[in-house]
Amino acid sequence: MIVITGGAGFIGSNLINYLLQRNKNKIVSVDWHSKKNQNYFSDKNFETIKPDSILSFLKKNINKISVVVHLGAITSTTEQNLDLIVKNNLDLSINLWKWCKSNRKRFIYASSAATYGNGNNGFNDDHNDQNLSKLIPLNLYGWSKQVIDRFIWHRQQKNPLLQCVGLKFFNVYGPNEYHKKEMRSIVLKIFENIKSNKTVQLFKSHNKKYKDGEQLRDFIYVKDVVKVIDWFIENKNVNGLFNVGSGKPQSFKDLSKFVFRNCNKKFLIEYVPTPINIRKQYQYFTKANISKLRKAGYKGKFFNLEDGVSDYVKNYLIKI
């Protein structure tokens, strides 16, 4: 049995669809929004439970569970409610790790590239505490992921789980992200504006090193992300904290061109000031160093941004 928290969310729903297509073991999705997002699933052949009953569920099914994949969290980078962040991103993660530890179960969890902050300290996914302590996240969400990384890997050095894997996701885009509202990917936001004949807007640069629209991010297609997760599920002896990105940052301007091209529309954008309340939290450059992932044995190829955007727009968005 594979237990997936955040199973009705963006990455979680794509993972469940992928695992079901591959006839994996019994899947259990843990999420508050299983009914609300039920249209995300092509196959409903899995069990759903609510987060407030997860610990009792784990206890009752201890002999059936092989791995817990913990993706559930408050993912908004602008969330300011500390109590909410602590309850959902810290307490639950710690409790799940402790349960897996006590019951000798495997644990795969979602970290984030938001832990790297402005990137001045690099994008090194070494999990020793000396490296992790150098990172300075720019928001509460990134801070919560940083706390969990340090909590887990400090303890893993002394008394490790059978398998423990942390995945630092970079800028993920793809199907099943409608519920994310303002946290939807820039691909979906641009598509929606084009479809509604609205002006496509990108943030101006407030950093002299970057021209307007030339801010760089490491975008990765969700189809690649779920393949990475599945690889760790299959390779139960691999442990560690790993970056999950393409390793090839591209500009928002280039991404916009790809969306326009796949919508058969003329490229036309305008630049607007980045809102003052998020300027200090804004990342101008991210690039996943995926050498550790490759060294661990993952050989899967990643979509380049142009092909990933094309697949997303033509095979999912235009069909809606």
Q: Which residues are catalytic?
A: 141, 180
Closest to 176 (Cα-Cα) out of 141, 230, 225, 108: 225
For 51, the token pair is: 């987060």
Question: CA-to-CA distance for 304 and 306, rounded, in angstroms?
Answer: 6
Strand 216-217 with 250-251, pairing: antiparallel
Contact at 8 Å (CB) between 217 and 283? yes
Contact at 8 Å (CB) between 246 and 304? yes
Question: Which helix H or strand E contains 294, and what residues bound it?
Answer: helix 291-296
Closest to 280 (Cα-Cα) out of 111, 78, 76: 78
Question: CA-to-CA distance for 102 and 121, rounded, in angstroms?
Answer: 35
Strand 171-173 with 200-203, pairing: unpaired
181 contact partners, CB below 8 Å, separation of at least 6:
none
- SS3 of 195, please? helix
CB atoms within 10 A of CB 65: 20
122 contact partners, CB below 8 Å, separation of at least 6:
116, 289
